[in-house]
Each structure stands twice: as structure tokens, then as C-alpha cells.
Amino acid sequence: MISSNKIMLGKFSRRWWRWGWPILTFIVVFAGLQFDARWYRQPIARVQTVQTTRVSHPVDNFENRDRIVTQKVHAVLLNTQHRGRQLTLHNTYSASGAEDAPLAKGQQVFLARSGRHYTITNIKRDAILGALISATLVLLGLIVGRHLWLTLASITANALLFILALHVEIASHQVLAFLLFSAVAVGFTVITTLFVVGAKPLAAVVAGATMLATALGVSLGYGIFVWTNYQDLHLETVKYVTQAPQLLFFVQIIIGSLGAVLDESSDIAVAIFQLNSGAKARFQAGMAIGRNVMGPLIAVLFMIFIAETFAEGVLWLRNGNAISQTVVWVMGLGFAQSLISAFGIVLTVPLTSGLAALAARWQGRQR
């Protein structure tokens, strides 16, 4: 054991340089994507120099002090037939930066043209996005090896299904929209299960338990909404929704918790199928595994859903709202989403353990 440890650590230190690959990938892709302007139809310019022309210090009704800066920007046009032309642009930003951002030398911006004048409409972000995606893939490849392709194939298949569903034009019809996305969720479950466990009887158990637990969890959540009469729950604050916020809220919960529920279910089911004991012992083994993983899994989703509310939360508090009001209005939906997802995660434990124990016994009899 001692010698194997020495070998492990020796190998580790000799191969330390491979951890430089993701960083190298990041730099190469980031630099490369600085030269893709000609693929765009919208005019793009690169900032060459920046001068501060005006600074003001506004104080709002809540005694918040900020700094607003106007920049005069010299830039060069990178595409369209006027490529190479020097432009003078203006940019105004605040130190807090709620709706604006400072420009710096080297940055690229999208422009809108009216006559001979150009105005800045957006910042170009494809380079950082592409660089981060590539670096992440290389990092994953270093750790999981060939298994990465399987994961990528699964994610691509799910994304294609989702894009397909988006193009079915029924968004105006609430009930149909909900049914469509429930069908998409079933599709996600089947696709992902097949990729994770393969086409075995085990897959039926995992997919079945996942769907059942999610459906039960969401129904329980809806039941509590109705029972408590939606008190202090502000579904109208669901983001980016123009109509039917409640249905989309449930769609978000179903899709959002699906991965966690599915992973938990496959962990439990795989372990149960490997055991060689009676149905009762198998059920109890499944429950023991589930108990260990459910807490951390709930924490994963909780942190994602709540951290996203920070910017709006600070904005509300700084605008003179009480803490209790901010928690209810801004963080409330995040809490509701975490809690209902948690129902699914907890319910999966007995459901998978039960189904897997039954299926394993049935399979045993078949032999």
C-alpha cells in the first residue's frame, strides 16, 4: 500500500504540467475569437483608446452615492465595407454598473448605424464564452477521459429535443404548453437514463422512479400552493415570462430537479441490483444510500437557485425595502423552487428503493 501511494504521488507530480492545458486552451481560443468579426453582419469595432470626459456624483432619494462617468472612445471598425475606418464613440457607465459597463482598450463592441453615426449597442461576449467552454471541456477530458464523449452526446441529444420543442408554436395555449414541456421532461428522462445506465431493465426502474418522484413532488407542491392560498407567493415575479407564470414556474421546477433526481435514483438502483439478498434487505440498503446523498443534492440546487437572486436582492434593499419584504418578493420563488425540488429528491429514495427491490426479485425469479 505504501509503495502504491508513492507511485501515485510520483506520477502526480511528474504529470503536473498537464493541468496547464485548460489554461492554454483558454488563451488560444480567447485570442482566436478576437478575429471573427467578419462572420457577423452587425458592425463591430475594437476600442483603441478611452478618455474620461465627464464625471458626476449623483445621490438618490435613499442617500445612495454613485459615480457616473462619460467616456470618449476611439475605435476601429472591424467589418462591413467600411472596415478599418476610425470612429469616435461615447459610452456612459456608473461605478455600480446595473445597466452599463466601462469600456477598456482592446474590448470589442457591436454598433448600430444611422447615417454616418454609430452608437454602441452591446458588448461582444463570444470570445470569453467560447474560451471558457473549451477550457472546461479540456479540463473534463483530463479527468474523465473518453467518458466525456458519452456525457457530451447525452447533453447534445437533450438540447436538440429542447430546441425542437421550442419551435412548436403553442406558447399561447397554457395547458398545451404545460403538456408539451411535461412530454419534453419525459424525453429528457428517457434519453439521459439510457446514456447513464444503458438499455437494461435497470433503466426502466431509474426512469420510472424519476418520473414518479418528480410528478409526486410537483403535485405535492401544487397542493400546498392551493391549500395555503398562494399566501406571500408572488408568481408574477417569474422572470422572462409574459403569460402563464405558474405553468412556466412548474416547468422550471420539473426540468431543474430532473438531473438531481435521476442521478440519485441511478446511484441507488445500481447499488441495489448489485446486491444478492432478499427484497427487504435490498430496500433497506437503498434507503441507507439515499439518506446519505439527499442532503448534499438538495444543497446543490438550493445554492444555485438562491445565489441567482443576489443582484435583485441588493437592489431592493438599497431602494429602501425592508428585509422581510425583499426575502418574500425577491428570494421567495427561489425558496419555493428549492423546496419543491427537494420533495422530488426525498421521495426518490423510497420510490427507487422499492421499485428496484421488486424488480431485482422479479429478475431473480426469471432466471
Partner 1 sequence: MSTITGLALALLILMVLVGGKQGLSNFLALGVNTLLMISAVVLMAGGFSPVIVAVVIGLLVLATTIFLSTTRLDVAGPAFVASLLVMTGVLAVVMVGVHFSATAGFGPEDSETLEGFSVYIGVSFEQILIATGLLGTLGAIAEAASAVAAGVIELGGEATEAGLHEIQTTIIGTALNTLFFGFFGGFSALFIWFTQLKYSFATIVNNQIFVGELIQVLFSVIAVALTVPVTLWVVRRRQQPPAHQHLKP
- Map the footprint of partner 1 across residues 142-201, applying CB under 8 A: 143-145, 147, 150-151, 154-155, 158, 162, 166-167, 171, 181, 188, 192, 196
Q: Which long-range contacts (CB under 8 A, 24 or more apart) does 324-330 make?
A: 328/232, 328/234, 329/234, 329/237, 330/237
Nearer to partner 1, 281 or 311 (CB): 311
Q: Which of 113, 161, 256, 284 is the binder for partner 1 (CB under 8 A)?
A: 256
Question: Which helix (H) or strand (E) covers residue 338, if one does?
Answer: helix 332-366
- How far is it, in rounded angstroms, from Cα 189 to Cα 151? 14
Q: State the binding string over 117-136 for partner 1 (x if CB under 8 A, else -).
A: -----xxxxxxxx--xx-xx
Residue of 37, 47, 349, 355 interacting with partner 1 (CB under 8 A) = 349
> Pairing relation of β-strands 68-77 and 108-114?
unpaired
The correct pick among 347, 355, 357, 360 for binding partner 1 (CB under 8 A) is: 347
29 binds partner 1 (CB under 8 A): no
Q: Which three cell numbers stand for residue 82?
A: 467600411
Considering the complex, state which of residue 320 and residue 364 has its C-beta at the smaller distance from partner 1.
Answer: 320
Q: Which of residues 65-94 bind partner 1 (CB under 8 A)?
A: 65-66, 68, 94
CB of 274 to partner 1, least distance (A): 13
Nearer to partner 1, 230 or 362 (CB): 230
Cβ atoms within 10 A of the Cβ of 59, count?
9
Supply the angle between the helices 332-366 and 201-227 in degrees, to the nearest 10: 150
The single residue among 25, 71, 252, 352 that binds partner 1, judged by CB under 8 A, is 252
Question: Residues 91, 209, 212, 263: which binds partner 1 (CB under 8 A)?
Answer: 263
CB of 90 to partner 1, least distance (A): 17
For residue 349, give every residue at least 6 positions away whose Cβ sits within 8 Å of its Cβ, in sequence order, or none. Answer: 264, 268, 286, 287, 290, 291, 294
- Least distance in Å: CB of 160 to partner 1? 13
Q: Which residue has the cell 446543490?
A: 300
In sign, the C-alpha dihedral spanning 61, 67, 73, 79 is: negative
Neighbours of 224 (CB within 10 A): 15
The rounded distance, in Å, linking the Cα atoms of 31 and 128 is: 9
Buried b (16+ CB within 10 A) or exposed e, 301-311: bbeebeeebee
* DSSP code of residue 59: B
Q: CB-wise, 110 or 358, nearer to partner 1?
A: 110
- List the beta bridge partners of residue 72: 51, 90
17 binds partner 1 (CB under 8 A): no
- From CA 185, how far away is CA 275, in angstroms rounded? 30
Q: Which is nearer to partner 1, 61 or 366 (CB)?
A: 61
Stretch that binds partner 1, among 201-209, 217-225, 277-285, 356-364 (CB under 8 A): 217-225
- Sequence-distant (6+) residues with CB within 8 A of 4 are none
Dmax over CA atoms of the chain, in Å, equals 83
Choosing from 99, 114, 116, 367, the residue that interacts with partner 1 (CB under 8 A) is 99
Among 323, 325, 362, 364, binds partner 1 (CB under 8 A): 323
Per the structure block, which three cell numbers stand in for 174?
397554457
Q: Tell me how far apart the alpha carbons of residues 196 and 2 are, in angstroms, rounded to a whole number.
A: 35
Q: Which residue's CB is nearer to partner 1, number 86 or number 292?
A: 292
Of the pair 208, 334, the CB lying nearest partner 1 is at: 334
Touching partner 1, residues 290-309 (CB under 8 A): 290-309
Closest distance to partner 1 from the beta carbon of 364 (Å):
25
Nearer to partner 1, 87 or 109 (CB): 109
Among 140, 186, 215, 271, indicate the residue that binds partner 1 (CB under 8 A). Answer: 140
The reply to whether 267 sits near partner 1 by the rule CB under 8 A is yes
Q: What is the DSSP letter of 294?
A: H
Q: Identify the residue among 49, 64, 219, 277 touching partner 1 (CB under 8 A).
A: 64
